[in-house]
């Protein structure tokens, strides 16, 4: 059985695609279309530029603006022709698509190919704080969901809250597969409580995440607590802004990012993880991100803002503390309240969380569903 994985994202460092490929690679013949080749060499790779060209994306800006004002996503005939050709050449039993933009190209002809949409978030509210975006892209994605979700063989979402949103809005149930990491053995080195406590935060510098709140919290905390921000240098204005914010702080450092496979071993050197995610949108409020599970597999207790989904896991498993609100003062207070007994207990509880919240715990459900669809 052949499966086509279709995206314009990087395949070599996209956690959700990497885990999907790892789950399916020994059971199906995989072909992946993406921006960069997957880590697994046994997976046939096709560059997404052969299907969605830079030229078309450039000339499409004007047409997108016009059509998005009507809540419609521009559709290119040339892209449709290439996708049709791709499907004829590969003849997949199943297509797994990761970008809602491309759903419109997969139901335009009579075909037996079944389509799975592996959603990375709730796209109709991706930039909820931006009213212009919501009236254009947000409306367009809502209509895309409305039209195509009922046609899917399977909808996959990252948590139950987003799955509930899709069922309430569009009447479509989801398979919930969180962004869980593969199970990782606990570090062999014994851990000792010591000051200063060293915290790590890693990820992409996105302005919506308000990472400056963490910088301000550690400014308030002083020398007994240190923070390393391991951020992807996307050369954005926001990245440079964060650099300036921490320039005069001796206990906050910006460090280079590491490859996907090195994240968990690298961050396991630290004492705790930290993440306060501003609730500026539905997706931020309901986030259960990769780094949450990477903290767990690195056996790092975490201090987080009161994001409801992350908080539920942190409190249920007793693996960290939740700040009272999303401000710097509350985050600093939660960190300052940590005792040696707290941290030791959190680290013990992480052993249970690491097993029960590992990808292995969820991948059997994904494999089972995909096999059922392929029959």
Smallest Cα–Cα separation from 259: which of 9, 7, 10?
A: 10
Tokens of 133: 């975006």
User: Using an 8 Å Cβ cutoff, are 36 and 10 in contact?
Assistant: yes
Q: How many helices (H) and strands (E) does the chain have?
A: 15, 13
pLDDT digits (tens, 9 = 90+) for 165-207: 999 999 999 999 999 999 999 887 788 889 999 999 999 999 9
The pLDDT of residue 177: 95
Tokens of 117: 């949409």
**Do the domain assignments include residue 163?**
yes
- In a shared domain, residues 55 and 140: yes
Q: What's the structural domain count of the chain?
A: 2
* DSSP, residue by residue, 177-228: ---PPPP-PPPSS-----SSEEEEEEE---GGG-THHHHHHHHHH-TTEEEE
Residue 280 lies in domain: 197-356
What's the whole-number mean pLDDT along residues 75-80? 84
User: How many angstroms separate the CA atoms of 139 and 198, rounded?
Assistant: 43
How much is the mean pLDDT over the chain?
Answer: 92
CA angle 84, 89, 94 (to 5 degrees): 75
Tokens of 193: 């409580």
- In a shared domain, residues 215 and 120: no
Give the domain CATH number at 345: 3.40.50.2000
Q: Specify the higher pLDDT residue, 5 or 61.
A: 5
pLDDT digits (tens, 9 = 90+) for 42-69: 899 999 988 877 666 666 666 777 777 7
- In a shared domain, residues 223 and 118: no
- In a shared domain, residues 341 and 323: yes
What's the whole-number mean pLDDT along residues 146-162? 96
Q: Could you tell me which residues come within 8 angstroms of residue 86 by beta carbon, excluding any fewer than 6 positions away?
A: 4, 33, 46, 51
pLDDT at residue 147 is higher than 90: yes
pLDDT digits (tens, 9 = 90+) for 218-239: 999 999 999 999 999 988 999 9
The pLDDT of residue 109: 64
The pLDDT of residue 59: 66
What's the whole-number mean pLDDT along residues 350-368? 93
- In a shared domain, residues 69 and 111: yes
- In a shared domain, residues 339 and 363: no
Give the domain CATH number at 27: 3.40.50.11930
pLDDT digits (tens, 9 = 90+) for 291-305: 999 999 999 999 999
User: How many angstroms separate the CA atoms of 349 and 352, rounded?
Assistant: 6
pLDDT digits (tens, 9 = 90+) for 257-290: 998 889 999 999 999 999 999 999 999 999 999 9
């Amino acid at each position: 059985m052949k499966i086509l994985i279709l995206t314009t994202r990087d395949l070599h460092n996209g956690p959700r695609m990497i885990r999907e490929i790892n789950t399916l690679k020994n059971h199906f013949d995989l072909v992946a279309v993406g921006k960069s080749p997957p880590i697994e060499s046994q997976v046939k790779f096709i560059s997404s530029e052969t299907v969605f060209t830079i030229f078309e994306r450039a000339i499409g800006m004007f047409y997108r603006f016009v059509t998005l004002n009507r809540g419609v996503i521009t559709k290119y005939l040339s892209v449709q022709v290439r996708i049709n050709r791709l499907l004829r050449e590969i003849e997949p039993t199943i297509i797994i698509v990761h970008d809602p933009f491309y759903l419109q190209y997969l139901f335009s002809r009579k075909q037996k190919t079944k389509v799975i949409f592996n959603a990375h978030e709730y796209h109709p509210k991706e930039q909820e704080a931006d009213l212009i975006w919501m009236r254009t892209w947000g409306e367009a994605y809502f209509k895309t969901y409305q039209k195509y979700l009922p046609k899917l063989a399977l909808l996959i979402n990252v948590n139950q809250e987003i799955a509930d949103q899709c069922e309430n809005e569009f009447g479509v149930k989801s398979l919930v597969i969180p962004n869980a990491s593969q199970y990782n053995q606990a570090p062999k080195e014994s851990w000792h409580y010591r000051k200063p406590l060293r915290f790590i935060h890693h990820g992409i510098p996105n302005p919506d995440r308000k990472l400056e709140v963490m910088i301000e919290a550690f400014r308030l905390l002083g020398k007994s607590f240190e923070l390393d921000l391991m951020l992807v240098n996307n050369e954005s204005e926001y990245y440079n802004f964060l650099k300036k914010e921490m320039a005069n702080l001796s206990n906050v450092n910006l460090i280079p990012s590491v490859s996907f496979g090195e994240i968990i071993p690298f961050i396991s050197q630290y004492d705790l993880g930290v993440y306060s995610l501003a609730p500026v949108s539905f997706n931020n409020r309901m986030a259960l991100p990769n780094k949450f599970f990477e903290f767990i597999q690195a056996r790092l207790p975490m201090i987080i803002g009161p994001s409801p989904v992350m908080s539920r896991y942190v409190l249920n498993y007793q693996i960290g503390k939740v700040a009272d609100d999303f401000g710097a003062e509350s985050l600093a207070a939660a960190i300052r309240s940590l005792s040696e007994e707290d941290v030791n207990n959190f680290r013990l509880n992480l052993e249970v969380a690491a097993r029960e919240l590992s990808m292995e715990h969820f991948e059997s459900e994904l494999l089972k569903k995909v096999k059922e669809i392929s029959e």
